[in-house]
Amino acid sequence: MDHRSEVRQFLSTRRDRLTPDQAGLPAYGGNRRVPGLRREEVAMLAGVSVDYYTRLERGDLSGASEGVLDALARALQLDDAETAHLFDLARVANASPVARKPRKRTTGIRPSIQRVVDGLTEVPALVRDNYFDYLGANRLGRALYAPLFASPAPNSARFAFLDPAAPEFYVDWEKNTQELVATMRGEAGRNPYDKRLSDLVGELSTRSERFRTLWAAHNVRYHRTGVKRLRHPVIGEIELVYEAFELPADPGLTLSTYTAEPGSASEDALKLLSSWSATTDTPTARTDVPAES
């Protein structure tokens, strides 16, 4: 990925979405040539010169201090995920060539983690890496995401954008794909030189018009908690609350759990799914993930 282009497009899209009224600035005249703030307006709000801000927006974050980045985040009204993304982009701009080497890829999940996942017998649980591959799950997790796990190498991004079953499976497919791409964008900001991640983005950009459109928006978000509505082929529609937990000892791995509101129809559906999953006999951990650096 072209890092300078990433910086340029992220800052320009954040500037374009913010109106003078939202920024607390007077809107002089009725004919503005830009949809959002002008560069000089962002520079004024951030307390930097127009020339310096122009340099930043052209993609050069090298040497930008934390104070400048904080001021820029406030001026553009970035949320927590967007602010972290801006700092990630600056960190990469200031990294040495050695620090820019691709990270080592995690090869599956450790047996102790799989035991924890399997111990969650009443809650669907899945483990994915930062390439959006599912490396492990408990029995209920595999049952919940049965359409996705029909693939020998389940990947949530490929399923969401390339599998015709996805819009039917995800009740809120448009919202879900927006959130997925925004999560991927944050991952790309942290690891812009990761070839495998770049290859995934390239594949999806080539094969999915919706992905291309969402990727061009440069939106960023955290994937920590929320509501997931699924249309399951066995139990029908179900609404669950998901929680995502990063695994500190295994960088890049995330454990996600799904729970239903007590006494709800979704809780009954989850119990039915548990009974159904007990009749299946499928592996719960990925063992076919090659090591890669």
Q: What residue type is assigned to position 61 of the chain? A: L
The answer on 254 and 148 residing in a single domain is yes
Domain harbouring 89, CATH code: 1.10.260
The answer to whether residue 16 is domain-embedded is yes
pLDDT confidence of residue 290: 39
Domain harbouring 230, CATH code: 3.30.450.180
| Pair 135, 285: CB distance under 8 Å | yes
- Write the DSSP assignment of 106-135 as a string of letters: P-S--HHHHHHHHH-TTS-EEEE-TTSBEE
The answer on 162 and 237 residing in a single domain is yes
CA distance 289 to 106: 9
pLDDT confidence of residue 26: 81
Can you tell me whether residue 263 is helix, strand or coil? coil
- Write the DSSP assignment of 15-58 as a string of letters: HHH--TTTTT----SS--SSSS--HHHHHHHHTS-HHHHHHHHT
pLDDT confidence of residue 1: 65
Q: Which domain holds residue 133?
A: 111-277
pLDDT confidence of residue 282: 53
The answer to whether residue 284 is domain-embedded is no
The answer on 243 and 116 residing in a single domain is yes
The answer on 118 and 88 residing in a single domain is no
The answer on 129 and 87 residing in a single domain is no
Among candidate residues 93, 127, 153, the one where a domain is terminated: 93
Report, in angstroms and rounded to the nearest whole number, the Rg of the chain calculated over CA atoms.
22
The answer on 89 and 42 residing in a single domain is yes
The answer on 220 and 190 residing in a single domain is yes
pLDDT confidence of residue 101: 56
pLDDT confidence of residue 267: 96
The answer on 78 and 12 residing in a single domain is yes
Write down the pTM of the prediction. Answer: 0.85
The number of domains in the chain is 2
CA distance 246 to 181: 18
Average pLDDT by stretches of 10, the chain with 293 residues: 88 93 77 81 95 95 94 96 95 69 66 94 95 95 95 95 97 96 93 91 97 96 93 96 94 95 96 89 48 40
The answer on 217 and 118 residing in a single domain is yes
